[in-house]
Structure 1
Amino acid sequence: MTDAKTPLLIKRYASRRLYNTETSDYVTLEDISGFISDGRDVKIVDLKSGDDLTRQYLLQIVAERESKGESVLPVAVLTDLVRSYTSQASSVVPQFLAMSFDMLRDSQSKVVDNMAKANPIAQMPGMDAFRAQQEAFFKAMTGGQWSATPEAKPSEPAVEPSESKEDLDAIKTQLAELQEKLGKLSK
């Protein structure tokens, strides 16, 4: 069992083939992208020189995804990135980007955490499915780097024996209305 905090070491051979040192097999850029999406950090080094090639390959993965229509970076952001290489801003940009992504992950965790707090909406039937959908959305937006904290998953609401059939019907009606509204929002 490997430590998930330790980056997965990938070695690049002279033939430009990439070798996964943990599984002793060759991998592709798509495989490396999958490792990263699963939350694993990678380190890619040249076998002969020992040079760290991680940045080069990560940029290549981003470029390939962008060229395939998986546009995450707006043109204005790409333009500003290019400008930052030719201006004094280049020293601030990496820190700004890192802080921005940290804030995004933190705010996404807070949204799910707030959804799980004891409130009537979080206790409604069907909210677990909604919460799972939101978690999948956040995970997709962060490339798999985000996951809900264990305390963000509420326990099943207790149904009191004194609840009448009318109360349950009212809850079902409210749930149907919420699902209809969510359906309209997702279109």
Structure 2
Amino acid sequence: MTDQPADEATVIIKKYANRRLYNTRSSSYITLDHLAKMTREGTDFKVLDAKTGADITHQVLTQIIMDEEAAGGEQMLPVSFLRQLISLYGNSMQALVPHYLEASMDNFRTNQAKLRAAFEDSLGDNPLARIAQQNMAMFKAATQAFMPGLGAEETRPAADEPATEPPGELDALKAQMAEMQKKLDALGK
């Protein structure tokens, strides 16, 4: 999308009097659920009243929020927040609120991305995560030893994908599995 001019990147949605929404890019009728999905995917769109051409994107997005809040799941907007927001309408601070909310949401998204990255990085350095990975590798090796062919496609890395286990550890696991197999064979006799 970054290669396209801003006008081409924005999907135009027309809303007709019968409340139907028409996606002009895909030439198909869509629902508010489709618009919610487009929003989650980061697709930029503008909703226009089909008769007047007025931009009604704000109203439609507000309707999507209302539908999400009424869906019966966990509500995101607490009552106290809604009360405070309503009390700001007509207030001298009303003009500042949209900018403040946008900046707050941008900061929230940035912090969320940083937290996710830090969490993923910490798993790589976590000894318990390494032990869990080793246990999983041993489980896969045991599965191969006792049920050859089962999951064989899953354990082989793709041609362009590097092996996840260092060769020394894999060889050690194979040796351990072979030793276990010998002991089991001896017990079975």
| TM-score, shorter chain, exceeding 0.5 | yes
In 2: Cα distance, 1:13 partner to 1:52 partner:
13
Q: How does 1:85-124 map to 2 (within 5 A)?
A: 85-117=89-121, 120-121=125-126, 124=130
Give TM-score scaled by structure 1 length: 0.62
Residue from 50, 57, 64 that aligns with 2:67: 64
Aligned to 1:159: 166
RMSD: 3.1
Secondary structure of the structure 1 residue equivalent to 2:46: strand
In 1: Cα distance, 2:44 partner to 2:130 partner:
38
Residue from 32, 57, 70 that aligns with 1:54: 57
In 2: Cα distance, 1:24 partner to 1:126 partner:
49
Secondary structure of the structure 1 residue equivalent to 2:102: helix
Change (3 A) 1:4 1:65: farther
Give TM-score scaled by structure 2 length: 0.62
Residue 86 of structure 1 and its aligned partner are, at CA, apart by 2.6
In 1: Cα distance, 2:32 partner to 2:13 partner:
11
Change (3 A) 1:48 1:63: same
Could you say which structure has the higher helix fraction?
2
Residue from 9, 14, 27 that aligns with 2:12: 9
Aligned to 1:142: none
Which has more radius of gyration?
2
Aligned to 1:32: 35
Change (3 A) 1:20 1:68: same
Unaligned runs of 5+ in 2: 134-161, 174-189
**Relative contact order: is structure 1 or structure 2 higher (C-alpha 8 Å, sep ≥ 6)?**
1
Aligned to 1:79: 83
